[in-house]
Structure 1
């Protein structure tokens, strides 16, 4: 009987240790972050579209991490800062961000310690001049030498996904200071230029919008545009989808 009690106590103690160990691992399944197993698509590397947003009340409250207190901005207008950017990927993919959205490492998003959530920012790589517009929807990075954490797609577009960090300039973007962008619609792609040109002629006659053909790696991509009015671009896209071009999608000028 005594041996049985001792065995049960040992088993119970082992279960408690396992539970403690599991809780210490935290909310993430991966212990260390890693890059995804594929590169972002052309569509995934488009800048975030600046839209009207409702700021998260819960994400606007002061908070504390590792003994340091942070006070989020109530108005990001005019914010600009230079420093080090990093990126985060698979470890955090599909987990909730600080404002309740779901993190997607292939979306144009970012984490910032004090910018309002959500908000938008232009991030420029100071070493190569490349820039992206991201939607800020998370808190971090909580390292003294870093000012912003970008999604994998954003870091890929800025050209620093291999080295992990880069010197950047971060500037808040609002509806008031965001430049209007031209719309394009990618309709089709093929390896035979003559066929793509014939389709371009047909679509120009049918939809009365300009066309352009972009070649990359031996593939010719047919796009309608530029279209200045966003509503018109959306209307043309819907017509294309109804007329056998179900895979057509919108693109925007840089």
Structure 2
């Protein structure tokens, strides 16, 4: 695993932020830890769900050109059509609880990421090319400031992609916008309950049985298990029929707006 030092320039002030640190970090920095580390537990199923793509307001300050370690960067104003391949790293406990470049609080168990030029915030699909696992993350930070890295993922995202023990992985990045993320998608609500552990166990089983992603939605004290998204309406109807035949008689279709 690599260690990080992240910088970001707002107007004429160079502010230390959460990113790729170097070995000359001292305990007097704003971070309580000298070196980065993994958390003391693994992410839950609920925490490993993809970031939900929603309409966002881009940060004006995070859209300005900036300079880090003598190199200048010009952020994109529109991520539509963006695609790139390269090396991904991840960051964890050292930066947990500190502000990201657009003012949010970094949570190593949230599906977020740092990128040098994507708009903040924006959403990107990250695919580990070695195992074809993918995740959708919310980009809310700047970095990683290494020439050989294209994105810095949260610990939860790296865990989901299966490279959290290696430190880096070769990935493919694809921008996700509302135009290409929600059109004609179908979900199936399979079950609901008040015990998260039971819903998570059922989600794991359904992912194996139906080869589809799952999504757990919490409202009040009830956890609702959704299967999908499913792009083909006919396929969704076939899956629903199978579910009803296999004990889930109360399952029903959910459609995106």
For normalisation by structure 2, the TM-score amounts to 0.68
Q: Note the 1:35-74 alignment, pairs <5 A.
A: 35-74=38-77
Q: How far apart are residue 174 of structure 1 and its match? A: 0.4
User: Of residues 173, 190, 202 in structure 2, which corresponds to 1:214?
Assistant: 202
2:94 aligned with 1:119: no
Q: How far apart are residue 25 of structure 1 and its match? A: 2.9
Question: Matched residue of 2:62: which SS?
Answer: helix
Q: 1:183 to 1:56 in 2, by over 3 A?
A: farther
User: Which residue does 1:253 correspond to in 2?
Assistant: 228
2:190 aligned with 1:187: no
User: Which residue does 2:102 correspond to in 1?
Assistant: 99
Post-superposition Cα deviations, 1:81-117, rounded to whole Å, max 9, x if no partner, equal: 0000000000000000000000000000000000000
Q: 1:76 to 1:181 in 2, by over 3 A?
A: farther
Please report the RMSD computed on the Cα atoms of aligned residues, expressed in angstroms: 3.0
Question: Matched residue of 1:38: which SS?
Answer: coil
Q: How far apart are residue 182 of structure 1 and its match? A: 1.8
Which structure features the higher share of strand residues?
2
Question: Matched residue of 2:36: which SS?
Answer: coil
Q: 1:215 to 1:109 in 2, by over 3 A?
A: closer
User: Which residue does 2:154 correspond to in 1?
Assistant: 151
2:83 aligned with 1:83: no
Q: Which stretches in structure 1 are left out of the alignment for 5+ residues? A: 1-21, 197-212, 221-225, 227-232
Question: Matched residue of 1:43: which SS?
Answer: coil
Does the CA contact (< 8 Å) of 1:121 and 1:171 recur in 2?
A: yes
- In structure 2, C-alpha distance between the alignment counterparts of 1:132 and 1:54, rounded to whole Å: 22
Q: 1:81 to 1:149 in 2, by over 3 A?
A: same
Task: Report which of the two structures shows the higher radius of gyration computed on alpha carbons.
Answer: 1
Q: Which stretches in structure 2 are left out of the alignment for 5+ residues? A: 1-24, 207-211, 230-257
Q: 1:181 to 1:159 in 2, by over 3 A?
A: farther
User: Which residue does 2:136 correspond to in 1?
Assistant: 133
- In structure 1, C-alpha distance between the alignment counterparts of 2:103 and 2:225, rounded to whole Å: 27
Q: How far apart are residue 248 of structure 1 and its match? A: 2.1
Q: Count residues in correspondence.
A: 193
Does the CA contact (< 8 Å) of 2:203 and 2:225 recur in 1?
A: no
